[in-house]
Amino acid sequence: MEVDRIIRSSSEGHTSLFKTVFNGLNTILGVGILSMPYALASGGWLSLIVLFSISGAACYSALLTKRCMDANPSIKSYDEIGEFAFGKLGKRVLSIVLYLDLYMALTGYLILEGDNLHDLFPNVKTNFHGISIGGNQTFVMIIAVAFLPTVWLEDLSVLAYISATGVISGVVILASVLWVGVFDGVGFHCKGELINWKGITTAMSLYMFSYSANPVFPTLYTSIKKKHQFSKVLLIGFFCATICYASMAILGYMMFGSALQSQITLNLPTHKLSSKIAIYTAWISPLSKYALLMEPLAATTESWFPNYQNKKWFKMLLRTSLVVSQVVIALTIPFFGSLMSLAGALMGATSSITIPCLCYLKISRNNRRNNRRSTERIFIKLLSLMSIVIVVLGTYTSLRNIIKESIRHHKV
């Protein structure tokens, strides 16, 4: 698959520890921070244990990914790990997982942008030949049109620098929410529930979505100058991201309790400056990342048509078709929380825990020099089993919620 080839640095093995830590944290800390309070509200205070457990499991699985690459220095990308472990079939499976993961993330960006703009401009509606189109749907289509020129670009270097502000965006949003709670009269008065068993699966899936960065780690590992420092990169990255996620979850839940919506920005008072800063920051970040994530997705799709993939008109047509298809899904399933929950359960757990565990078990069995203690292999098997449970339960709950919300939405 073309995913890692495209985002791989041309100067492999020359990135410093500091830059790699920054890139790793930027990879882990994403739009999932907006849904952290909603996830905590869904599962209750004790679901924080699930958050920390998933963080630890994802970090450990990332370390297993590093071990897999150490077993064969020629491995440079995520799908090549699958090929080394399970042959061509493994590479195809990992390529499909990556493709679907990117597609769902991009669709989620459209919904996210539409929701936030509608929150800022709630009175916007459109009438087209007698058909009334709601504000969310209108903004999703407007944003898609705005995105189109960026996905046609061949040189994305400018956007790459803008998207690197992901860490800064997360900190700005967190600080803005804290300011709203302390100085803008919202306060921290909600006690919340200790545990909500009905929503624990939703919380688990949303937490998992926020730790779905494993497929990018091979690229970071390839780029770092001193390979032995990569474990430190992972530990620092996951620790800092988890602090940010947990802080946002706790602040939001104490501020709004069970009234939390799928994105914390939708609960903020829009007339306050701090709220506007948070909302605009949440809006700008996906705006820059959309084209970058679309590039590997589009390149993979173009590779299915070798006779046309180098023709400019075909690239524009295909990329436009991908955007249109995502708009259709975003309009049909305009539920950010449920879609991200589905992405976390179905793709996040698979790509960031299940696959690294299974690949390591296979590779370490074939390479006896790297064979670990039997107790650790048992632990890894239990970890992969846990991730499969997340996939099954989370996917079922997310699909059920999407169906329920769709029925309620169409009735309205």
**Which pLDDT tens digit goes with each residue over 216-255?**
888 889 888 888 899 999 999 999 999 999 999 999 999 9
Q: What is the pLDDT of residue 372?
A: 52
Query: Three-state DSSP class for 127?
Result: strand
**Reported confidence tier of residue 10, pLDDT bands at 50, 70, 90:** very low
pTM (2 decimals)? 0.85
Q: Does 178 have pLDDT greater than 90?
A: yes
Residues 186-209 have a mean pLDDT of 93
Give the DSSP letter of residue 304: T
How far apart CA 412 and CA 405 sit, in angstroms, is 11
Beta-ladder partners of 300: none
Q: What is the pLDDT of residue 46?
A: 97
Query: Three-state DSSP class for 265?
Result: helix
Amino acid code (one letter) for 125 = K
Range from 47-61, 88-102, 177-191, 383-397 carrying the lowest mean pLDDT: 88-102
Amino acid code (one letter) for 66 = K
Nearest CA to 296 out of 82, 91, 90, 102 is that of 102
Query: Are the C-beta atoms of 264 and 36 separated by less than 8 Å?
Result: yes
**Reported confidence tier of residue 156, pLDDT bands at 50, 70, 90:** low
Q: What share of the chain is helix, strand, coil (3-state, %, to 5)?
A: 80, 0, 20
* 127 vs 333: which has the higher pLDDT: 333
Q: Does 260 have pLDDT greater than 70?
A: yes
Amino acid code (one letter) for 126 = T
* Interval 390-410: pLDDT, tens: 999 999 998 998 888 877 766
Distances (CA, A) of 6 to 39, 80, 292, 309, 328: 33, 14, 10, 15, 27
CA angle 215, 220, 224 (to 5 degrees): 160
Mean pLDDT across the chain, nearest whole number? Answer: 85
In degrees and rounded to multiples of 5, residue 167 shows phi and psi of -65, -45
Half-sphere exposure of residue 30: CA atoms within 13 angstroms, side-chain side: 27
Beta-ladder partners of 224: 15
How far apart CA 29 and CA 34 sit, in angstroms, is 10
Which two structure tokens, joined as six digits, stand for 103?
A: 């597609």
How far apart CA 176 and CA 265 sit, in angstroms, is 10
How far apart CA 411 and CA 91 sit, in angstroms, is 44
Distances (CA, A) of 207 to 20, 49, 165, 400: 24, 11, 22, 18
Range from 118-132, 300-314, 325-339 carrying the lowest mean pLDDT: 118-132
Q: Does 9 have pLDDT greater than 50?
A: no
CA angle 77, 81, 87 (to 5 degrees): 125
* Interval 333-384: pLDDT, tens: 878 888 888 888 888 999 999 999 999 999 987 555 545 567 888 999 999 9
Q: Which residue has the tokens 């890692």?
A: 4
Range from 148-157, 264-273, 304-313 carrying the lowest mean pLDDT: 148-157
**Cβ count within 10 A of residue 149:** 9
Which two structure tokens, joined as six digits, stand for 76?
A: 């440079």
Q: To the nearest 10°, report the CA torsion of 405, 400, 93, 344.
A: 70
Residues 160-172 have a mean pLDDT of 73
Long-range contacts (CB closer than 8 Å, 24 or more residues apart) made by 69-75: 69/218, 69/221, 70/227, 70/370, 71/363, 71/364, 71/367, 71/370, 72/363, 75/218
Beta-ladder partners of 360: none
Query: Three-state DSSP class for 328?
Result: helix
Spell out the residues 6+ positions from residue 187 whose beta carbon is closer than 8 angstroms to its own.
181, 255
Residues 135-140 have a mean pLDDT of 83
Spell out the residues 6+ positions from residue 390 whose beta carbon is closer than 8 angstroms to its own.
204, 205, 208, 345, 349, 353
Rg for the chain, CA atoms, rounded: 21
Residues 37-60 have a mean pLDDT of 96
Q: Which residue has the tokens 């047509």?
A: 317
Nearest CA to 138 out of 129, 127, 130 is that of 127
How far apart CA 23 and CA 8 sit, in angstroms, is 12
Q: Does 8 have pLDDT greater than 60?
A: no
Q: What is the pLDDT of residue 356?
A: 95
**Reported confidence tier of residue 2, pLDDT bands at 50, 70, 90:** very low
Q: What is the pLDDT of residue 153?
A: 76
In degrees and rounded to multiples of 5, residue 128 shows phi and psi of -125, 105
Range from 36-40, 260-264, 278-282, 300-304 carrying the lowest mean pLDDT: 300-304
